[in-house]
Structure 1
Amino acid sequence: MQRHKMNHSFGQQGGQQGGHGENEADCHCTRSEDGFLEQDGILFGQTTGKNATSAAEQDETAPAAEHAASAESIIEERCKAELTELRLRNAAEMDNFKKRLTREHEEQMRYAAEKVLGDLLPTLDNLDLALRYGSKSEACKDMLQGVAMTHKLLLEAVEKHGLKPLGEEGEEFDPNVHEAVGFEDRPDFAPNSVARVLQRGFKLGDRLLRPAKVMVKQ
């Protein structure tokens, strides 16, 4: 009877010790606050969760990075195109500016003597009138030879500088170079032609200095 009680007590004590051992074994594995199992300071499942989060973040940031790189490339190409266009436009403007300067210089050199030649027109007119009306007098015949020679030399000199006389009898009337002051019947001339020249006109290069005053055949 006493042995039975001792065995029972021993078994109970052993059971208690065995339960104690199980409790001690269970103490090594606990659950952390974030839901992961922790045993001896090691969190199970934590590494896998971090890797999954990192992969998800990379999946989200990859398209954004590609979009940013694409936008930057588009902006760079647009800037290059604008710079190229600006450079070509500046080159064209500079070329036009040089051409305009060259043209203005040529015109200035061509018409530099315009004022001087314009001042000589009355002298040519007087010489022309002397030849026209002096030829009717026999007394002025010898003098007219010198006037004719002077008139010829002066015309040759001004023609070297681009001055050309306008207005000849019998030519077709041109309102661009002729100024009609009246009508005159000349049977030997065609209609709408210059019947008589009252005052010669002059042209310097392509520029009209003075139209010729003429009578027109009706």
Structure 2
Amino acid sequence: MDDPHDDSSPTVTEPGAPRVPPSAEPPEAAVVESPEALREAVTAKSQEVGRLQDRLLRLQAEFENYKKRMAREKAEYLKFAHEGIVLEFLPVLDNLERAIASARAEAGSTPLLEGVEMTARLFRSVLEKAGVKPMEVAGQPFDPGYHQAVEQVESSHGGESVVVGEVQKGYLINGRVLRPAMVRVSRAAPPVAGNGRDDGDPQA
């Protein structure tokens, strides 16, 4: 005989009722942060944004400096890019000037000499447009950065180590030495030796 209070009988579910798993737990309540915690989080984010902005500004400044440096280097390169070619042509101008000096000494002015002088003037004009100018060395103190001494000349005037003559012209290109000038440099004359007689001694 069945016990009417026996709990082992199966549970009957009504049709249409939702099935709830026996292990289901109630959902956790949403975590609500305190106003103080929110303020701290906002402050931390603001500081991070500030650091990123500072870094961005530094990178922008570095990039601008890089562009300026590259522009200067490019301009510097263009100023001296033709230096090697110009240097090769200087001996040609040297020969023209020597020929002019020799012709003037021998025969004076002739149509041929005038033609050579015109060629030399044209040559100098082209060099000047390229930023090339001859050095002015006469009477200047000797400077190994600009001058190459090929001879020393005794001189009692103008001091020692002064340029007193030019053997080969020196040239500058945009203010920088293209070719040093070959020069003669003064040196002090040795003292004049006495006659070896003491003026206080009586003459024989």
TM-score by length of 2: 0.64
Provide, for residues 140-165 of structure 1, a one-character-per-residue CA deviation record: whole Å limited to 9, x for no partner: 75344433332222112211110011
Q: Distance in 1 between matches of 2:161 and 2:100?
A: 27
Q: Point out which structure has higher relative CO (alpha carbons under 8 A, 6+ apart).
A: 2
Counterpart for residue 153 of structure 2 = 184
Q: Distance in 2 between matches of 1:168 and 1:144?
A: 27
Q: Distance in 2 between matches of 1:120 and 1:141?
A: 26
Counterpart for residue 37 of structure 2 = 68
Q: Going by fraction, where is helix more abundant, 1 or 2?
A: 1
Q: Distance in 2 between matches of 1:132 and 1:217?
A: 25
Q: Percent identity?
A: 33
2:138 equivalent among 162, 169, 175: 169
Q: CA deviation at 1:134?
A: 4.2
Structure 2 counterpart of 1:148, which letter? E
Structure 1 residues 216 and 163: alpha-carbon distance in aligned structure 2, compared to 1, 3 A threshold: same
Structure 2 counterpart of 1:105, which letter? K
Q: How does 1:41-80 map to 2 (within 5 A)?
A: 65=34, 68-80=37-49
2:119 equivalent among 128, 145, 150: 150
Corresponding position: 1:110 with 2:71: no
SS at match of 2:139: coil
Structure 1 residues 112 and 130: alpha-carbon distance in aligned structure 2, compared to 1, 3 A threshold: same
Structure 1's unaligned 5+ residue stretches are: 1-60
TM-score by length of 1: 0.61
Q: CA deviation at 1:210?
A: 1.2
Provide, for residues 15-34 of structure 1, a one-character-per-residue CA deviation record: whole Å limited to 9, x for no partner: xxxxxxxxxxxxxxxxxxxx
Structure 2 counterpart of 1:160, which letter? K
Bigger radius of gyration: 1
Corresponding position: 1:202 with 2:174: no
Q: Please give the root-mean-square deviation of Cα atoms over the aligned residues, in Å.
A: 2.7
Counterpart for residue 86 of structure 1 = 55
Q: Distance in 1 between matches of 2:115 and 2:163?
A: 29
Aligned length: 156
Structure 1 residues 100 and 168: alpha-carbon distance in aligned structure 2, compared to 1, 3 A threshold: same
